[in-house]
Chains A and B, each alone.
Chain A
């Protein structure tokens, strides 16, 4: 049962335009969400997170939006750069006494020069 879903395996965007990566979740108990970027042969790198008490968090070119009623979050990258080309993973923390993360299957972003 996939509790965190990234339905788009890949996305191609022109340099300078906006990249929008989407993520859906099924468990309403999730209270903290994160986005990671992963290059080949490297581990996931933490990008940005959002708590369930917020609906938006911004860090430079990266903004994460959370719609709790729709159980949906998205990552916006503006402007997109070729160096942003990587696999992006959405993850959720199920709260409680642990901090374990449940990951989506990832979206491969290709930013074309």
Chain B
């Protein structure tokens, strides 16, 4: 158990809809990261938050947004969903937002767009 909690585990919805994925980091971790894993690709970095502030952005679509709340949990919002958004979405956390330290991952949310 990594200590990172993601909900829900599975989400099935239709094209055009909007969903929210939730992540609670490990106790004491201030930084949260979101990654996407599609069928034909490895883990792709989406976005990072540190103590409530956006720290870095990867190839995140404009239809996607995220935030980190004062209690340090984070939400990833995906809107105007398309078939290609079907993927596993992982959240990870680390103690701080920089430097050489490992990230610890949750078990992911599997999003299926019908």
| Interchain CB contact under 8 A, B108 and A43 | yes
Q: How far is the CA of A36 from the CA of B4 in the complex (A)?
A: 15
Q: How far is the CA of A105 from the CA of B38 in the complex (A)?
A: 11
Which of under 10, 10 to 19, 20 to 34, or 35 or more describes the interface residues of A?
20 to 34
Q: A49-B102, A99-B99 are in contact. Are A105 and B4 (CB under 8 A)?
A: no
Is there a chain A Cβ closer than 8 Å to B24's Cβ?
no
Interface residues of A in 28-58 (CB under 8 A from B): 31-32, 34, 36, 41-46, 49, 51
Q: What's the tally of chain B residues with a CB closer than 8 Å to chain A?
A: 31
Is there a chain A Cβ closer than 8 Å to B14's Cβ?
no
| Interchain CB contact under 8 A, B102 and A46 | yes
Q: List 11 A-B contacts (CB under 8 A).
A: A41-B107, A43-B4, A43-B92, A44-B105, A93-B100, A97-B98, A99-B31, A99-B48, A99-B103, A100-B45, A101-B33
